[in-house]
Amino acid sequence: MRDFGADADTLVAGNVLHATVVPPVPWRLRMDIGVARARRPDVVEAAIGGDVSGTAVIRLEPVGGGTLVTAVWSLDMRSRSLRVAARLAFPLMRWGHDRVVEQAVAGFRRRALGGTPRP
């Protein structure tokens, strides 16, 4: 992810996060992530705009001595060129998506666990 910023310093309803996602394929995705609801400590709901649009929800729940994090999203490609690429090069698009998700999960773990590696 590159060019990450937000309108405010806190994760509250109404804040908008701005980012450019750079997958290991020859295109970039610009995203605006509007926080629709943030209820501490267990849920964040967002509306996504930019090159893709849709919704995302992150839920956190205590499990044993830790926390289970569940992320669900539903996104549509708004760009005609991305939709064409998805039809013509679906395996490459899927591979790029999977790498971006892996990197996001690894980054979340690093921040959430304070740098402690975990499988």
89: CATH: 3.30.530.20
Residue 46 lies in a domain: yes
Chain segment 19-78, per-residue pLDDT in tens: 998 888 777 889 999 999 999 989 999 999 999 999 999 999 999 988 899 999 999 989
118 occurs within a structural domain = no
Number of domains in the chain: 1
pTM above 0.85?
Answer: no
Residue partners of 29: CB distance under 8 A and separation at least 6: 20, 21, 23, 50, 51, 52, 82
Which range (6-10, 56-60, 65-69, 103-107) has the least confidence?
Answer: 103-107
Q: Per the domain annotation, does 117 fall within a domain?
A: no
Instruction: Please write down the long-range contacts of 86-89, taking CB distance under 8 Å and 24 or more positions apart.
Output: none
Is residue 61 one of the residues assigned to a domain?
A: yes
Rg over alpha carbons for the chain, rounded to the nearest Å, is: 15
Domain assignment present for residue 92? The answer is yes
> Which range marks the domain in which residue 18 is found?
2-112
Position 71 in a domain: yes
Q: What's the pLDDT at 44?
A: 95
